[in-house]
């Protein structure tokens, strides 16, 4: 199963300049998901990270993993709530193994370790081609948005 | 190997690490939430760590029962027995 950016935008609360995945290329409900992030020199963060030496910040790779995990969680378990949810990242254990440069295509795979009704732990890996660039475990919680009282 | 004591000590160490307290504070009756500051995400981490270590699955409805070391050991042994 694949999802394009329009489908991603239906689920993720993040928008430009903080929507860090472009496409879902594989999805098996409750089992795994794979997303793509095309990294271009035009990314806003390369202006400052670093001038003359553009490297994608590791924390943004984590953010791309977290966004992939949201899609996985929402599509696997929250079919009817999606946009009405808020997501919180609770804990991250990560290793950064190789730098990511302009022109790279990040492929991010997320698998569940333990998922409960409103929280979970997933393992994620990010690679460019055959090279693993980062891996992490992320713990997150989800909460229904409170209705505005006005 | 695999004695009650070993499981108890392993679980105690694992919980101490997740709750970030000294293992001497994890007495059988110390309340995780009231005495040791556990929140719901730490509870999830404890269950996930035990599942990984002992290769068991602890269903979600058991989480509410895990209020102290004694509870965790009882639930772990219950599901270890079912393996």
pTM: 0.90
pLDDT digits (tens, 9 = 90+) for A29-65: 999 999 999 999 999 999 999 999 999 999 999 999 9
Cβ distance A114 to B51 under 8 Å? yes
Instruction: Label residue B13 by pLDDT band (50, 70, 90).
Output: very high
- Rounded mean pLDDT of chain A? 93
Q: Do A121 and B40 touch (CB under 8 A)?
A: no
Least confident of A55-59, A127-131, B73-77: B73-77
Which pair of tokens denotes residue B6?
A: 């070993």
In angstroms, what CA-CA distances link A139 with A52, A63, B74?
Answer: 35, 13, 25
Alpha-helix residue ranges (DSSP H) falling in A78-115 = none
Nearest chain B alpha carbon to A137: B45
Kindly tell me if the per-residue pLDDT of B1 is higher than 70.
Answer: no
Instruction: Label residue A150 by pLDDT band (50, 70, 90).
Output: very low
Top-tier CATH class for A5-144: alpha beta
Instruction: Label residue B3 by pLDDT band (50, 70, 90).
Output: low
- The shortest CB-CB distance from B41 to any of A113, A117, A139 is to A139
Average pLDDT over residues B55-72: 92
Contacting residues of A for B51, CB less than 8 Å apart: 114
Tell me the longest C-alpha to C-alpha distance in chain B: 33
Q: Which residue has the higher pLDDT, A144 or A88?
A: A88
Q: Any idea what DSSP says for residue A44? A: G
| Domains in chain B, number | 1
Q: Where are the beta strands (DSSP E) in A13-77?
A: 23-28, 32-38
Tell me the percentage of chain B whose pLDDT exceeds 90. Answer: 78
CATH number at residue B33: 1.10.1200.10
Domain that holds residue B8: 4-81
pLDDT digits (tens, 9 = 90+) for A4-32: 999 999 999 999 999 999 999 999 999 99
Interface test with B, best of A117, A120, A121 (most B CBs within 10 A): A121
Contacting residues of A for B52, CB less than 8 Å apart: 113
In angstroms, what CA-CA distances link B37 with A21, B20, B21, B40, B69?
Answer: 36, 9, 9, 10, 14
Torsions phi, psi of A54, nearest 5?
A: -70, 120
Quote the pLDDT of residue A79: 65
């Amino acid at each position: 199963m694949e999802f394009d950016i329009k489908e991603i935008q239906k689920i993720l609360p993040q928008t430009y300049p903080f929507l860090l995945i472009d496409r879902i290329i594989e999805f098996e409900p409750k089992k795994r998901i794979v997303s793509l992030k095309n990294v271009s020199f035009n990314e806003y963060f390369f202006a400052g990270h670093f001038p003359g030496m553009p490297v994608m910040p590791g924390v943004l790779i984590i953010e791309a993993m977290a966004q992939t995990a949201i899609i996985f969680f929402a599509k696997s378990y929250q079919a009817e709530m999606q946009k009405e949810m808020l997501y919180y990242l609770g804990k991250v254990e990560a290793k950064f193994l190789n730098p990511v440069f302009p022109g790279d295509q990040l492929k991010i795979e997320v698998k569940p370790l333990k998922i409960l009704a409103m929280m979970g732990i997933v393992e994620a890996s990010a690679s460019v081609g055959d090279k693993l660039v980062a891996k992490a475990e992320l713990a997150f919680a989800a909460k229904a948005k409170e209705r505005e009282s006005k | 190997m695999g004695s009650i004591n070993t499981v108890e000590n392993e679980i105690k160490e694992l919980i101490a690490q997740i709750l970030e307290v000294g293992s001497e504070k994890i007495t059988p009756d110390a309340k995780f939430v009231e005495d040791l500051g556990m929140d719901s995400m730490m509870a999830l981490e404890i269950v996930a760590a035990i599942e990984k270590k002992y290769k068991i699955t602890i269903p979600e409805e058991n989480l509410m029962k895990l209020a102290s070391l004694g509870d965790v050991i009882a639930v772990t042994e219950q599901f270890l027995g079912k393996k």
